[in-house]
Amino acid sequence: MRRALFILLICLGVAALCLWAIGYIYIHALACGFADTGQGACRIRMPWELVESDRPMMVYTPLSVTLAIFGAAFLVRPRAKGTDTR
């Protein structure tokens, strides 16, 4: 049972990480649609280049959720065989 929960949490963590990356790119593409047309090419900002008001929503919250999922997977990881659990 622990192994199945561990695998489920790892898959959920990877899915959350992929969803964050896709959502990050998608939100920046939407922002480029509203940009001034005289700017030329609209590029995606790196997370450390974001304004302070955007960083918590776009970086810190998804990162904390992903780390919480991976932390839960670490806590329920299967024990090695032959390990005494006393």
The alpha carbon torsion through 6, 70, 77, 85 (nearest 10 deg) reads -140
| Domain tally, the chain | 1
Helices (H), ranges, the chain: 2-33, 55, 61-75
pLDDT of residue 37: 62
Give the domain extent around 58: 8-75
Q: Which residue, 59, 61, 65, 58, is CA-closest to 30? A: 58
Examine residue 26 and state whether it is found in any structural domain, yes or no: yes
The reported pTM is: 0.75
pLDDT tens digit sequence for 12-64: 999 999 999 999 989 888 888 777 766 667 788 888 888 888 888 888 999 99
Nearest C-alpha neighbor of 12 from the set 80, 76, 57, 58: 76
Residue 27 in any domain: the answer is yes
pLDDT at 57: 85
Asked whether residue 82 is assigned to any structural domain, the reply reads: no
The stretch 1-7 carries a mean pLDDT of 89
